[in-house]
Structure 1
Amino acid sequence: MSSVSQALWNDVEQIRAQAPLVQNITNFVVMNNTANALLALGASPAMVHAAEEVEDFVSLASALVVNIGTLDANFVAGMRRAMRRAKDLGKPIVFDPVGVGATPFRNETSRELLALAAPDIIRGNASEIMALAGLDAQTKGVDSTQGSDSAVDSGRRLSRELGCVVVISGADDYIIRGDETAVVSNGHPLMTKVTGMGCTATALIGAFAAINADQFRAAWHAMAVMGICGELAARVHAAPGSLQVNFLNALYELTPTAVDDNLDTRRL
């Protein structure tokens, strides 16, 4: 195996051995999808968003994932408490700014949460990362209107300002920490036809961040696994419905040979 493949596979083995608890405050559209993906990978999901108990779950968890896909006042209250608690405890925080740039509410919520507790990793599509960096770009609902490469400069600026890793999803995934950049070219176009695949990527990043203190490596490995499993799923049957099932199967059945044979990544 290549050194990158071996390091990635070591992380997968650690997730399977430790089954880290990943606390998710995520949107209603993807809760089932992301919970099943975490289970298939080997992690343990907690899908808890009530403000009254999120701090207790964060205390138990190994990582916190916050996704603003279906915002309301109750969700935001839970996010505030959970992120503050995770920051106090030194637990990794992964933030997904779904649809930021689309409405003032999303912009204001994102600005508030980032100021309250800067995340360790942010993952979004190109439009979301550009909007988050300047909060003046527009998104098409939750979909990107830009290619991932167009957001690299915004990602670098955001990474420096917040001291975090920034992941830009797209045909190529860019993982950025300051001047350090890795690119993952794995994946399949059909993944864009399945609701919540980006949110699933964020959840998987949470699992890798739970067991790897190098958050750049954690995000890099998670995005590679996401892309490889998408490719493997599409080879079984290239249709959206079956892709969801076969993606979970690919996560569950992933082997070091599949990683080494299919990994398509490089540093810039």
Structure 2
Amino acid sequence: MRIDVHDLRVAYDGRTVVSGLDLIASSGEITGLVGPNGSGKSTVLRTVYRHLRPAAGRVLLDGTDIATLPPAEAARHIAALPQERGSEFELTVREIVAMGRTPYKRAFAGENGADRDIAERALQQVGLAGHGSRRFSALSGGERQRALLARAFAQDTDVLVLDEPTNHLDVRHQVELLSLLRAQGRTTLISLHDLNAAASVCDRLHVLHDGAVVASGTPSEVLTPALLAEVFGVRAAVVEHPLTGDPLIAFDHRSAVSAAPAPR
């Protein structure tokens, strides 16, 4: 399924955070949102998974405005991993993951064998097989992250919306997660701070600055030294990764440049 965001404007606390924003996430592809802190990435994602209501504009799922969908139907199509994640749940890991099956159940219906199988498979996918009986609150930050990702997988949706999913993960689990997302083949809209990770996993990137998209295209088209200087205020060289051929950004950690207003 394809996501189209048209002329989006989102405001809260009396401030416009996103204005006039357009982007697409093509069916079956991984689409990344990158940009400095405060550029509007999380706001866009929260609007796509309906945590925020736009002041103007529309989010379309295969041409249907998601605002018109009943909550359960929307949840059968879009699963989210937000940045705001509770850490004091007094539930087991397996109970957390099983929550992903809620959109498919009638009120007060219990889980069935298929639900249990899906939850167990999701735990295996994120490397938490055998951890189902542990308390969620007792997990490390990285383990919590993987458990919540398993919940999103168990939701078995067409679209994944992931806000900084590699936060708290060590290098091995970051690599495993990004490889797993590739293997999923689902339409994925993801925000990432790590530009090299974004270059390696994303089919398309949208660069945000001050609540607007200032560049869109493949990682090779978008991640140029000029854009990195203008938007992120850093000096960098972009070379070919010796193992994968993806763009590889080498940052100059000894100096920075002043970020100019990004092109509109």
TM-score, normalising length from structure 1? 0.32
More helix by share: 1
TM-score, normalising length from structure 2? 0.32
Q: Highest Rg: 1 or 2?
A: 2
More strand by share: 2
Structure number with higher relative contact order (C-alpha < 8 Å, ≥ 6 residues apart) = 2
